[in-house]
Amino acid sequence: MTLNAQTPVGQIVTERLGRAAVLDRLGIDYCCRGKMTLGQACAERGIELGEVLRALSAVEIDAASADQVEYSALPAGALADHIVETHHTYLREVLPRLDVQFDKVVEVHAERHPELRQMQDVFRRQWAELVLHLVREEQVLFPFIKQLEAWASLPRIYRGSVDYPIRVMEHEHDSTGSALKSLRKLSGGFAAPPDACPTYRALLHGLAELEADLHRHIHKENNILFPKASALEASLREGKAAPSPSSGESPARSATTTPRLPSPGSPAAGNERSPPSSSD
C-alpha cells in the first residue's frame, strides 16, 4: 500500500505494526481514531506530512514486525484469543504492580511533585474501568464473535447485532485513550524529574510501556477484530436464515440475541481484582 494524505492512520498500522512506534512518537492516535486520515492527523498535530511519510517509509520489516503483520490475516476468533493471551494477561500483571509503585512514589515525592496525586487518581479510575472492560470482552463479546464465526448462516430468530457491544467497547476505548493522554500530559511525556528515585523512574517507564501496549491492544480491536466481526455478521445476514453451526449442533438460544454486557458488581465481574480507591 502506498501511503498518502488520504490513508487512514489505523490502516497504516494494520499493514505494518512496526509503524506504530513512529505514530506514537509523533502523538498521532491510530487506535481510538484509526479512521482519521494521515493528512487530518498531521494538520491536527501541526506536523509536516512529508516528514511523517519519510519516517514511516524508513520503518524496516524485521522478523518481529513481519510476524505482527499477520494479525490482520488471523480469523476473528484466533485474533480474539491472541488479544486475551497477550494484552489482557499483560494488563492483569502490570496494573497491580504499577499501583504499588504509585503508592511508594506518592508517599515520598508528592509534596514536591503534586501532579503525582492526580496521576494516581487517573490511573486508579482507569484500572477500575479496565477490570470490567476485560470481563465484558472475554465473557460476552469475544464468545459472541466466535459464535458468529461458527455459524454457516444466522438462526431463523436472530435479534440485535454484534455492532451494539462493539460500540460499547469502542466508547470504553475512547475513555482509555483519554486517560492515557492525561497521564502523558501530567507527567510531561513520562519524563523523570532530576530528583526522581529509581522507583519513580521505574513507574514512569512502566506507564510509558502501558501506554504503548494499550495503543496496540486497542488498535487490534478497533481496526482489525471489530471490522472483521461486523463484516462476518453482514455476510451471514445475506445468507439463508437457517441454524447451521459448523459443529453440526443447534446454536444456543442465548446466542440468537445480542448478549447483555455485565454491569459493575454483577457475578460476571465479581471475580476480577479491583483497584483500591484513590483515598486508600
Is 62:18 a contact under the CB 8 Å cutoff?
yes
Rounded CA separation 124/227 (Å): 30
**What is the model's pLDDT at position 18?**
78
Residue type for position 236: L
Percent of the chain exceeding pLDDT 90 equals 63
Is 176:215 a contact under the CB 8 Å cutoff?
no
Between 162 and 272, the higher pLDDT residue:
162
The predicted model scores a pTM of 0.77
The DSSP secondary structure of 13-68, one letter per residue, reads HHH-GGGHHHHHHHT---STTTTSBHHHHHHHHT--HHHHHHHHHT----HHHHHH
CA-to-CA dists, residue 100 to 116, 119, 194, angstroms: 13, 14, 22
**What's the rounded mean pLDDT across residues 186-211?**
95
CA atoms within 13 A on the CB side of 133: 25
Confidence tier at 155 by pLDDT (50, 70, 90): confident
| Residues in CB range of 44: below 8 A, 6 or more apart | 36
Confidence tier at 71 by pLDDT (50, 70, 90): confident
**What is the model's pLDDT at position 259?**
60
**What's the rounded mean pLDDT across residues 55-84?**
76
**What is the model's pLDDT at position 163?**
94
- pLDDT above 50: residue 143: yes
| Residues in CB range of 212: below 8 A, 6 or more apart | 20, 21, 24
The DSSP secondary structure of 79-137, one letter per residue, reads HHHHHIIIIIHHHHHHHHHHHHHHHHHHHHHTTT-THHHHHHHHHHHHHHHHHHHHHHI
Rounded CA separation 75/159 (Å): 24
**What's the rounded mean pLDDT across residues 126-145?**
96
Q: Could you report the per-residue pLDDT of 230-249, keeping only the tens digit for each? A: 999 999 988 744 333 333 33
CA atoms within 13 A on the CB side of 80: 22
**What is the model's pLDDT at position 21?**
83
- What's the count of helices (H) and strands (E) in the chain, helices before strands? 13, 0
What average pLDDT is seen over the chain?
Answer: 85
Rounded CA separation 86/122 (Å): 24
Q: Could you report the per-residue pLDDT of 97-123, keeping only the tens digit for each? A: 999 999 999 999 999 999 999 999 999
**What's the rounded mean pLDDT across residues 53-66?**
66
Entry field: residues in the chain:
280
Phi, psi torsion values for 260, nearest 5 degrees: -85, 140
Confidence tier at 256 by pLDDT (50, 70, 90): low
